[in-house]
Amino acid sequence: MSADLFDAINQNTRATGQWGKGKAPKIPSYPRPKTSKAEKKKGKPLKPRTVAEIYKHFQRR
């Protein structure tokens, strides 16, 4: 969240500054962590369930 706030402030600074045409400074973005392929596979989405399957699941008691 702090990275998004940092980038928003930078964009606002570039947009509202008193620079000549094409002379606005390039402000680097906030560094964000990289995710590995193992972490991406770990959060694999589940197959959606039908209403009938959900109903059966709650009826098992």
Question: What average pLDDT does the segment 34-55 reach?
Answer: 77
3-state secondary structure the chain: CHHHHHHHHHHHHHHHCCCCCCCCCCCCCCCCCCCCHHHHHHCCCCCCCCHHHHHHHHHCC
Question: What average pLDDT does the segment 28-39 reach?
Answer: 73
How would you class 23 by CB atoms within 10 Å of its CB: exposed for 0-12, middle for 13-18, buried for 19 or more? exposed
Full-model pTM: 0.41
Mean pLDDT score of the chain: 78
What's the pLDDT band for 22 if we cut at 50, 70, 90?
confident
- Match 């959606």 to its residue by tokens: 48
Domain holding 52, by residue range, is 2-59
Structural domains of the chain, count: 1
CA nearest to 14, candidates 2, 25, 22: 25
